[in-house]
Amino acid sequence: MKFNLQAFLQIILKRTGGWYIAVIVAAVQLIAFISTALATYFIQNNAQLSTAQFAQVSRLSIDLVLIGDALMIAWAYFSHREANELLDYWSRNKTPMSNPEKELQAWKQVNSLPLRFAVATLLVAIVGEVVPILYQLYFIIHATFDQTIYTFEGSLVVTLASGLLSTLLLDQFMYPARKILLPKTFEAQRLGVTGFRLWIRFLAIAMVLIAVITLLLAPIGYHHTALATQNKGNAAQVLRSFQIQAGLAILVAIIYGLIFVWLLTRSVLGPVEQIAQALYAVERGELGRRTDVIASDEIGELAIYFNRMTENLHTLHETLESQVRERTARLKATVGVSRAVSAILDVDRLIEQVVNVISEEFGYYYVALFLLDPTEKWANLRAATGDAGRVLIQNKHRLEIGGKSMVGSAISTRQPRVAMSTSEEPVRFDNPLLPYTRSEIALPLISGDRVLGALDAQSTHEGAFGPDDVETLQTMANQVAIALENARLFQESLQSLQEMRAIQQQYLVNSWKAISDKTELGYTIGELDSSEEPSKLDVPLTLRDQMIGEISLSGDDEWTPEEKSMIEAVATQAALALENARLVEESQSTARREHLVSEITGKIWSSNTVDGILQTAIKELGRALDTDEVTIELKVEQPK
C-alpha cells in the first residue's frame, strides 16, 4: 500500500486544528535533531575532545537545542494567531471561515512561514546554541584553539544542513494548511504569495552543499596533515584515518544533497503536475476544474493565475450559454408574435393575441396595447392582460398624448421609454390596479411615418428591461405596427371590394331586368309524359353571386351526381356566355349610337348658317329616332 503523505498530513490537521503549525514545527525540528546527532561524530573526530569534554559539550548542546526548539514552537504558535484561528475553525466546522481580512492575514502567514522559520532557526542556532557552546568549550573546559575551531566548523555544518532540511520539510508539510487557508478572491491570493522564490531555493541549496562539503573536508584534511607532520612514523595510519573520514564526509554530503534535491524536486514538480492535470481536464471541457495552490513561490502564483483563467473561462462559457438561452427565448417569443400577427387580419383579434403572446413568452406582470383615436390627442386602451386589464377596458381607459404617462411620452417622442425603477420615474401614470409594478417599458407602434399607438409592458422586478429586452420588444412593436397597418388596409380593401360587388350586382340586376322587360326570355324543349311523376332538377344561372335565370329539367329517371355536375358546369358556362353576349350587344349598341352621333355632328358642323344648323339637326334626329314630329326652338331669357 502506497503511503500518501498529503493524506496523512490532512488527518493530522483535522485532529490538531489550530495547533497544526506548532506540531509541524516540532516535527521538523525533531528530524533536524536526528541529523544533528549524526554530525556530532565528525565534531568529535575532528576536535578530538576528551570523553569528559565531549560529555559536557553534549549535555549543553542538548539543553540548548531543547530550549531553542521550545522557543521556536512557541514562536510558531503565537506569531500565527489568524492562521491558527482559521485552521481551528475549519477542524471543528469542516468549512472555511468567511472573514476576508483574517483570510488574507492567515494566507500571508502560512506562505511566509518557511522563510521566517529559516531566519529564526539560523538566529536561534547561532546565538542560542553555537556561541554558548564555543564559550564553554574554550573558556570553561579549556579546549585548545584548534579544537574550538573544529567544533565551530562542525556546528556551522549542523546549523546550515539541519536548518535547510527543516525549512524544506516545513514547506512540504504546510501544503494542507495552504489549501484550506486559500482566500476566495484572486487579489487576496496574489498578495499572499510571499514564500521562497525558486531562485532563492536553488541558490540556498547550492551554497549549503558547498559549505557543508568545505566545512567537512577542509578541517579533516588540515587535521590529518598536521598529524602526519607530527607523527611521520604513523603516516600510513594517518592516511587510512583521513581516507575513512573523508569518505564518510563525502557520503554525508551526498546524502544531504540527495535529500535536498528530492525535497526541492517535490516542491517544484508536485504543483507543476497538478497544474498539468488541470490543464488536461480543461482541454477535455472541464472548465470548472481548479488546481490546489500548495506552493508559495512562482509556481504558486502560476496556480493562482491558472485558477483565475479557468474561472474566467468558466464564467464566460456560462455567460455565453446564458446569453444564448436568453436570445433563443427572445427569438422564440419574436417568432411567436410574428406568427400570431401574420396569421390574423382582424384588428381586434390581432391586438388581443399580441398582448397574450408577449405576456406568456416573457412572463410579464401586465401587457397592454394602446391605439390613437382619430383626434390623435388620446391613446385608447384596446387590449390588456389580467383582471386589471379587463377592468381598465370596461372603464374605457385612455391616456393623454404627451401627458404625464410613459405611453403618452413614447407616442409623442416616437422613442421607447424605460423605467428601471418605477418609484424613481417622474413621467409615469401610477395605476392603482397594478400595485406590484416595479419596472415598466412603453414602446411606440410606428408604421412608416405614422404612429399608431404604443405597447406597454410592466414587471414585478426592478431593472427587468435591459438593452436586449428593449431591442427585442421594439422589434415586436414594429412587427405589430406593420401587422395593424396591414390589417387596416385589408379591412379597407375588403370593404371596397364589397362595395364594388354590390355595385356590380346592382348593375347586373338592372341590365338583365331591362332585357327581360323588353323581351320574354324563356325556352322549352321536349314534351313531358303526364302518366308518370317526373323527376325535376332546377339549376340556377349564377353570375358573380347573382342569379339571372334558371335551368329546369324534368325526366323519367332520377338524376345521377355525374349528370348534376355536368348540368351545373353547363349552367356556369351558359351564364358567362349570356353575360358576354349581353356585353357584346351593349358594346355594339354603344358603338352604333356613337357612330350616329358622330355623323349627325359632322353634318351639323358642315352648315354655316343658323337656319341650316337647325334644319340639319331636326332632320337628322327625326330620321335617326324615327319620330313623327321634331321641334327645335331658340329662346333666350333675361337674367333675373
Q: Which residues pair with 444 in a beta bridge?
A: 454
Q: Give the rounded distance of the alpha carbon of 15 from its chain centre.
A: 43
Cβ atoms within 10 A of the Cβ of 240, count? 12
Q: How far is CA 432 from CA 288, 388, 391, in A?
A: 48, 9, 12
d(CA 516, CA 521): 6
The CATH architecture to which 344-493 belongs is 2-Layer Sandwich (3.30)
**Residue 279 contacts by C-beta under 8 Å, 6 or more apart in sequence?**
306
Radius of gyration of the CA atoms of the chain, in A: 56
Model-wide pTM > 0.75:
no
Cell 464566460 appears where? Answer: 316
pLDDT digits (tens, 9 = 90+) for 56-97: 888 888 888 889 889 988 998 898 888 888 888 888 887 777
Q: For residue 493, what is the enclosing H or E element?
A: helix 467-518
Q: Would you kindly state where each structural domain of the chain is located, as residue ranges? A: 5-258, 344-493, 535-606
Please report, as a single letter, which amino acid is at residue 248.
Answer: L
Nearest Cα neighbor of 364 from 396, 381, 389, 397 is 389
Provide the grid cell at 496. Answer: 371596397
**What is the per-residue pLDDT for 1?**
47
Provide the grid cell at 223. Answer: 587535521
Which is it for strands 378-384 and 398-400: parallel, antiparallel or unpaired?
Answer: antiparallel
Q: How far is CA 230 from CA 76, 238, 243, 348, in A?
A: 51, 11, 18, 126
The list of the chain residues with pLDDT below 50 reads 1
**What is the per-residue pLDDT for 492?**
80
Q: Coil, helix or strand for 597?
A: helix
d(CA 410, CA 453): 9
Q: How far is CA 473 from CA 47, 336, 418, 449, 569, in A?
A: 94, 13, 11, 20, 53
Nearest Cα neighbor of 74 from 132, 120, 123, 10 is 120
* Phi, psi for 399 (deg, rounded to 5): -130, 145
The Cα diameter of the chain in Å comes to 187
Q: How far is CA 235 from CA 79, 223, 229, 241, 441, in A?
A: 56, 13, 8, 10, 106
